[in-house]
Structure 1
Amino acid sequence: MKTVIKKLFYLCLFALITNVYGQKDDSNQPQKAVWKGKLDYRFVPSIKEQLQNKSFIPATINKDNFYGKDKRAKGNKVVPGKGLPVGLDPLLNTQSRAPQKRIKSTSLTFETTNSTSTPSDPTGAVGRDYYIASWNTSFRIFNKDGTPATPAASLATLFPGGADGDPIVLYDSQADRYIVTEFEDDPNGFHVAISQTNDPVNGGWHVYSATSFQTGTFPDYTKFSIWSDGYYVTANISASDNAGNTRNGQVWVLERDKMLTGDTSASIQAFSLPGMATNGFYSPQAFNVTDGNLPARGNATIVYMQDDAWAGVTSDHLKLWTINVDWTNSLNSTISAATQIPTAPFTGVFDGGGFANLPQPTGPSIDAMQATIMNQAQFRKFATHNSVVFNFVVNTNATGKLAGVRWYELRQNGDGQPWSIFQEGTYVAPDGRHAFGASMAMDGAGNIGMGYSSVSSTESISLRYTGRFKDDPLNSMTALEELIVQSTSDNTNTRYADYSHLTVDPSNDADFWFVSEYFNSGARSNMVGVFQLTAPPNNDVGVRSITNPTSGVLSNAEDITISIKNFGTDDQSNFPVSYTINGGTAVTETYTGTVSQNETVSFTFATKADLSISNQIYTIAASTGLTGDENSSNDEATVEVINAINTCTPAALQGCGLDGIKRFVLGTIDTDDGNDGCNTTGTVQGYVDRRNLTTDLDRSSTTPYTLRARHNWAAGATSEVLSAWIDFNDNGTFESTEQLITGASFTQANRLDDFSLDIPTSAPLGSHILRVKAMDGTAGGDINDPCSNYDFGEVHDYSVKIVDSTLSTDDVILENSEIKVLTLPNKQYQIELITDYEDLISFRVFDILGKQIVFNNIIKEGNKYNYSLDMSYATPGVYLIKMGSARSFKTVKLLVK
């Protein structure tokens, strides 16, 4: 699997990279459309109909070590020492002096998925009747109370060619239609599905495909926006292909009017972005209409940020382009020259442009998603003006590292008028946490809501929100931060989310629906939080969480401890609190202390709970019962815990003489003689405890391991199936994220069969339990449930030790390569690596203190890799250059005088 994914990664990467270095486009002149074409059309039946006729394709269970096809691999070219500000972000003082107001807590939270690839690509949009969420290669329709309206579906349910991913969900409020999109790499392009009616469950879908892109031009990181005369699409793609052809474009406009009616003649036009100063990574956004009040047709605007720390950019600014489409005659369609709007200085660079930026309590540092206009740039019309709000991440402390959100509101006096900055601010989270991955919008009253992610070296990722009321002092977020969800574990990978998504409920034009990624007991999950910018009620007390007990060895006298928060403005005391176990009789006691406004307190019930049954799952529900509580939505919290004294021991109910595993081989483990008979440890038929047998598995291996097993049921040679899990988090359970083999079929009987066991590169080191379940797939039982009983078969437990043999000098090809530094005038340097190595390599520069000041990924040109390094702004001294792969680097010192 790793080899296939690696090849796919490089295929996508080579498609989006056109040159090793950014090129400045000096032809900042209005341009025509670079090409036009017809969209391919097909009609897809409703989800309900697909479920009835069994053509529905369910969502796949993705593994955390499976990477989506996109990869923001190549960064913008950073010039060390160049750019302002030198120290702190100049807008921090404005934010720190702003008055802070409490706002109401979330009215609804719910998970959309807890089984995603890396990253999860969270997106979702709320409509008048439904909320549609999507991630990676799947989507699901929810009722507006958070309950599922459909099963989770593969994107292949809607789109041809399989489920490629990077979806975006939109709601076209003016048309009352739901939209789901994805990109495509074979052939290059993207797909758009529009609900036939305002009911995405019972109505069909108009599906349009744009696959007119030239070979080798993959539209990575696509973003979609709604405008009056079209659906606008941007992507991380060069204006030309590898051969220098310029017909591909960087912005595409789809004929909205025809697409809404299922017209098969709907067309597409493409435009390049004149005057773009850098092309290492493209993340422009088209303005997206938030509500149903569309502007006059034409004058659609594209925005991108430009950082003066990049080569070719002289000052921090925003660039805007205006597109006018003529659907009758494409020769009349135009994109304007770029308009430059100066901004307060900002630093959009982390770690020299690298992709591992923000530390967490455990695991790797995660990608801050720099150089990106975050999803989406939200437009709204008012009686006196038009507004648009958007944001991107900045390093608010150039001498250290603290991620914050630089946000903007632009205004124009009316449709088609010039845009200017009405307000700009930099938001940082409290307590020294990073704030990043934000998405923002404006409600019907003109209040701004912003959801974002937060993390620090001592606190796991959380999803939070803030905002500002329309009449508050400009250039600052005035709402006190509120929590949506706190992760219970850390990200095991540098990649995170890729974007988040906030939309406004058209039913009241006030509720903000925000979705992004968090980590729930090791599972990469997406959470929706619904909130308003309104003051909290006077009387509102609720249970924030149940902090004890947690899964593990539990007794018949466990403390139940809860976290209680006063969400209201009035102090509260002497109110009842209760808990139940598995829906049983409630235990009710009284909290006698006083909880001040916005205060959180801990309370342990005097009555202990009996949780002593081994392997039993207990659902604990705790609640408050304040008289006159004005918001009951936050009164109760629930948690599931398991008494995991031992792993679960499922049984073969009918037999295991021929079924199951009659010989098992993995690494140095080779057990059983292959004869018939039932393997059993203890009294549970078919359960085998061999945790005393262990083997090493190298997580850095480039090829999967071969797990070999044998069954002896000749009459059902191919009816036997096998699954495998490794308990990476050592909690005694086998989560879906820990499943490495999923119901694979045997091909033969009475001899060993081979199964591929792919160890995640992020697998935690040390010893863990390996569970293997093999059974008759035609009889009773669930092969993908590690704990449930089954009719015929066996479950075996072994031990495996995860090791990592990665060395920094054992790559023979790179070890024998030659690195050269050519010194040019004005502190310019040409760095060359001459090698037979062919794949992507990274280029890094470190200062004398070991701080990374330049990072980029580069591809080979001829027989060598080249990098033009500009050190004209760097402090004189000694620097270390590293070029190579993740396993082996060639290094050279550079003296800058």
Structure 2
Amino acid sequence: MQKSNYRSKFAAFGAGVALLASAVGQAVAEEATAAGAPVWQKAGAFEMMVRKPVQFDHTGERMDALIAKMPQRAANATPAASRVIPNKFNTGVPLAPQPPLASDFVDPMMSEPTPLTPTAGISVAGPSSDDNAAVIGGRIAPPDISGDVGREFVVAYANLVWSYYDKQGNLVGGPFPGNSFWAGFGGRCETDNSGDPITIYDHLADRWVVSQFAVSQAPFLQCFAISDTNDPAGPYTRYAYEIVPNDFNDYPKIGLWSDGAEQSAYHATFRQFTNGQSFAGIDAVAFDRDAMLAGDPNPTALVVRINTNAVPDGIQPAHIDGGETAPEGSCGLYGAALNNGDNDGYLFWEFCADFENPTNSTFDAKPLLTEGVPPWASSGQVPQPAPGDALDDLDFFTMYRFSTRFFPGEGMKGVMAHTVETGNTTAGMRWATFDLADTNAISVDDTGTLGQNDGIHRWMGAATFDQMGNIGIGYTASSESLFPSVRFTGRETTDPAGTLQAEGVCVDGTGVQTGVSRWGDYSTTAVDPVDQCTFWTFQEYVELTGTFQWSTRVCSFSFDSCTGDDPTPPENEAPVANAGQDFFILRQTRGNLDGRASSDADGSIVSYNWVSSSNRLRIRNPDSASPRIRARNVRRETPVTVTLTVTDDQGATSQDIVIVTILPENK
């Protein structure tokens, strides 16, 4: 076997290249957007442009009403031809070949599992190929399963359908078409059902964010739907972005980031293909989260072109999964594993986005992190029992998500997973946790490789933290004698360094995939925002042998050492919202709202949400206890009502209002 040929020319990135990004002014950017022509501005080693949505609305309708607007498929309709979603992972960029490794290579971080096993919870069928056939009239491969867990519901979204469940695993709604979120929206977000879905529960705002691309033809779009509440059935605020004109926005990955102050964004990465054909580069994009949550019709997106040679590939935006915001002043991060010959390591970038003044934004590449990173090798493909074909393992990609969490007294931590060879070309999962407290000195906290020297391939993993700092990993397992199945493992903070616990079984497969090598290009593992202990993982497996017969599974598991909420708590007392005293503010000046006097007698307030009644008063970080505000120009004294909604740790809410009067001149 050979090491991956995705070799880095990391000198091109520079070491810690500090960047004053974008000399493109707002007016120029909006003019370019209207004209539909890409305008890149060189800024150090990178390029940047400013984008606006091409479409927006807010629908007051819930999913049942939206479904009623969609074309209904006749019961006797002829099924559409089954199809494979094109594999656009081959960029066509020639890269330096790697020297062959010894045939007896064994990953140095593989170790025997500890005797303990995480405790299994719910295991329920997720969206399937059969659901696609029933709902949209055809079958595709692969499923690209994405999901998340909210305060009350669990959402699973695969190509090209989605469903949601209660936390006992009961189906509440679905399966629905993936594009049902945009029914009545108009345009191709409504008519296209292209897939590559992403599902995020924004626990800081208590809202759902779902996204998929619409790429049947140019202009290629990225579609967003943001729920009004923690109910995934809506209603929604909806957006469509053309990320870069003429570029096919492949493999979208999205993460939540907020520092509770100025840095509030949905960060994303895209693998761009000019006119859908030739590889153009990997882009990092910061979407103005505050504006999107507030229902602003014109929120800014800042696009940075990280590279043009797909080195490294599968770059992931950091995602805050549970817990508090990042410390104030912390900027969004991106990370990727880099298989780089004898110098394997991890690359990170820091994106400080200024949506009001894009020229103040910075994008900083960090030096390649190699200290404490043992080398790894690529694995190739994964076998199945006969008559199954070999499956793709995407060993040159970092898997979704790059999960992060703030731990009081320790700072920000991160965890990544990616597929490597454990030995004899057997696939396993390399995992690594990082100390992100100082982004100029990121270090590896711990690392290891999931593999048991038993001939079983383990890949397509996804990892995250619970509130104790334990990590949970969900993944697929297969071999020449094991049907593709879903398993899970993890480690507690008290386990020996570099080790994982014995794996648990979510569901055993009972069939194989034939005729198609494509496997799901990603999966998801998330932590429950209520107890902060239960992991939920969303994975692919095979139940019935066939070419287009994949299934997905939604599973939960946890560690006994993590104790969340009491399962039989006393009746919850609602919080008390306090939006502060009414006040005046001069036009075209900044100030602050203050909800810090809000309280919860029997628990804690977990989220704040401020809503202005007028666009004359802009709230920059509406999920903060004391958000920044900016008064726009007025000709006469203008009172604006601002509503504060606070949510406690049991999901109860209360509201208060404050009147902010904007003055045209000093009073």
- Conserved? CA contact 2:528–2:534, under 8 Å: yes
Partner Cα distance (2:457, 2:285) in 1: 34
1:362 equivalent to 2:387? Answer: yes
Which of 18, 26, 37 does residue 30 from structure 1 map onto?
18
Cα distance change, pair 249–449 in 1 and its aligned pair in 2 (3 A)? closer
The match for 2:325 is 294
Partner Cα distance (1:366, 1:64) in 2: 22
Which of 350, 370, 373 does residue 379 from structure 2 map onto?
350
1:490-547 CA-to-partner distances (Å, cap 9, x unmatched) read 01121111111111111111111111111112331111111112289xxxxxxxxxxx
- Conserved? CA contact 1:439–1:450, under 8 Å: yes
The match for 2:431 is 407
Which of 89, 93, 96 does residue 72 from structure 1 map onto?
89
Cα distance change, pair 170–429 in 1 and its aligned pair in 2 (3 A)? farther
The match for 2:236 is 205
Partner Cα distance (2:395, 2:193) in 1: 27
- Conserved? CA contact 1:346–1:394, under 8 Å: no
The structural deviation recorded for 1:153 is 1.6
Describe how 1:622-633 pairs up with structure 2 within 5 A. Answer: none
Cα distance change, pair 196–329 in 1 and its aligned pair in 2 (3 A)? same
Q: Which amino acid aligns with 2:267?
A: Y
1:328 equivalent to 2:328? Answer: no
Describe how 1:100-111 pairs up with structure 2 within 5 A. Answer: 100-111=115-126
The structural deviation recorded for 1:101 is 1.1
**Aligned-CA RMSD value:** 3.1
The structural deviation recorded for 1:303 is 0.7
- Conserved? CA contact 1:196–1:205, under 8 Å: yes
1:564-621 CA-to-partner distances (Å, cap 9, x unmatched) read xxxxxxxxxxxxxxxxxxxxxxxxxxxxxxxxxxxxxxxxxxxxxxxxxxxxxxxxxx
Which of 324, 335, 342 does residue 303 from structure 1 map onto?
335
Cα distance change, pair 308–391 in 1 and its aligned pair in 2 (3 A)? same
Q: Which amino acid aligns with 1:308?
A: N
Cα distance change, pair 179–519 in 1 and its aligned pair in 2 (3 A)? same
Partner Cα distance (2:144, 2:220) in 1: 19
Partner Cα distance (1:266, 1:480) in 2: 46
Q: Which amino acid aligns with 1:279?
A: A
Q: Which amino acid aligns with 2:499?
A: S
Partner Cα distance (1:487, 1:471) in 2: 32
The structural deviation recorded for 1:172 is 0.3
What SS does the aligned partner of 2:425 have?
coil
1:499 equivalent to 2:531? Answer: no
Cα distance change, pair 85–267 in 1 and its aligned pair in 2 (3 A)? farther
The structural deviation recorded for 1:143 is 2.1
Which of 488, 494, 510 does residue 488 from structure 1 map onto?
510
Cα distance change, pair 209–134 in 1 and its aligned pair in 2 (3 A)? same
Q: Which amino acid aligns with 1:205?
A: Y
- Conserved? CA contact 2:201–2:209, under 8 Å: yes
Cα distance change, pair 249–307 in 1 and its aligned pair in 2 (3 A)? closer
Partner Cα distance (1:89, 1:69) in 2: 32
Partner Cα distance (1:118, 1:138) in 2: 13
- Conserved? CA contact 1:70–1:221, under 8 Å: no
Cα distance change, pair 495–53 in 1 and its aligned pair in 2 (3 A)? closer
Q: Which amino acid aligns with 1:336?
A: D
What SS does the aligned partner of 2:400 have?
coil
- Conserved? CA contact 2:66–2:181, under 8 Å: no
1:16-59 CA-to-partner distances (Å, cap 9, x unmatched) read xxxx9997772533331410021231224433451685448789
Partner Cα distance (2:193, 2:277) in 1: 26
- Conserved? CA contact 2:401–2:416, under 8 Å: yes
- Conserved? CA contact 2:255–2:318, under 8 Å: yes
The match for 2:39 is none
Cα distance change, pair 232–70 in 1 and its aligned pair in 2 (3 A)? farther
Note the residue ranges of structure 2 that are not aligned, 5 or more in a row. Answer: 1-5, 23-47, 133-139, 259-263, 563-667
Describe how 1:527-606 pairs up with structure 2 within 5 A. Answer: 527-534=553-560
1:47-101 CA-to-partner distances (Å, cap 9, x unmatched) read 3451685448789998794122553234883614257997211112xx22x6321
Partner Cα distance (2:507, 2:10) in 1: 43
Which of 77, 91, 101 does residue 109 from structure 2 map onto?
91
Cα distance change, pair 149–401 in 1 and its aligned pair in 2 (3 A)? same
Partner Cα distance (1:259, 1:57) in 2: 31
Q: Which amino acid aligns with 1:467?
A: G
1:156 equivalent to 2:179? Answer: yes
The match for 1:388 is 414
Cα distance change, pair 44–25 in 1 and its aligned pair in 2 (3 A)? farther
The match for 1:168 is 198
Which of 256, 262, 270 does residue 235 from structure 1 map onto?
270
After alignment, is 178-187 or 252-261 more displaced?
A: 178-187
The structural deviation recorded for 1:148 is 2.2
- Conserved? CA contact 1:194–1:205, under 8 Å: yes
Cα distance change, pair 57–156 in 1 and its aligned pair in 2 (3 A)? farther
The match for 1:781 is none
Which of 297, 302, 306 does residue 269 from structure 1 map onto?
302
Cα distance change, pair 85–392 in 1 and its aligned pair in 2 (3 A)? farther
Partner Cα distance (2:231, 2:505) in 1: 32
Cα distance change, pair 429–454 in 1 and its aligned pair in 2 (3 A)? farther
1:782-809 CA-to-partner distances (Å, cap 9, x unmatched) read xxxxxxxxxxxxxxxxxxxxxxxxxxxx
Partner Cα distance (2:181, 2:508) in 1: 33
The structural deviation recorded for 1:362 is 2.3
- Conserved? CA contact 2:156–2:162, under 8 Å: yes
Q: Which amino acid aligns with 1:191?
A: C
- Conserved? CA contact 2:206–2:230, under 8 Å: yes
- Conserved? CA contact 1:122–1:501, under 8 Å: yes
Partner Cα distance (2:177, 2:452) in 1: 36
Q: Which amino acid aligns with 2:335?
A: V
The match for 1:254 is 287
Q: Which amino acid aligns with 2:144?
A: D
Partner Cα distance (1:250, 1:239) in 2: 13
After alignment, is 358-367 or 319-328 more displaced?
A: 358-367
Q: Which amino acid aligns with 1:264?
A: P
Partner Cα distance (1:61, 1:529) in 2: 34
What SS does the aligned partner of 1:156 have?
helix
Partner Cα distance (2:312, 2:373) in 1: 22
Partner Cα distance (2:244, 2:270) in 1: 12
1:455-476 CA-to-partner distances (Å, cap 9, x unmatched) read 0011111100111111211111
Q: Which amino acid aligns with 1:230?
A: A
The match for 2:99 is 81
The structural deviation recorded for 1:445 is 1.3
Which of 239, 253, 256 does residue 226 from structure 1 map onto?
256
1:343-378 CA-to-partner distances (Å, cap 9, x unmatched) read 534334234xxxx44344322100111111111011
Partner Cα distance (2:364, 2:346) in 1: 15
Cα distance change, pair 388–51 in 1 and its aligned pair in 2 (3 A)? same
Q: Which amino acid aligns with 1:320?
A: F
Name the larger-Rg structure: 1
Partner Cα distance (1:409, 1:453) in 2: 21
Cα distance change, pair 361–429 in 1 and its aligned pair in 2 (3 A)? farther
The match for 1:557 is none
1:649-701 CA-to-partner distances (Å, cap 9, x unmatched) read xxxxxxxxxxxxxxxxxxxxxxxxxxxxxxxxxxxxxxxxxxxxxxxxxxxxx
The match for 1:145 is 168
Partner Cα distance (1:324, 1:499) in 2: 27
- Conserved? CA contact 2:91–2:278, under 8 Å: no
- Conserved? CA contact 2:319–2:403, under 8 Å: yes
Higher relative contact order (CA 8 A, sep 6+): 2
Cα distance change, pair 168–330 in 1 and its aligned pair in 2 (3 A)? same
**TM (normalized to structure 2)?**
0.69
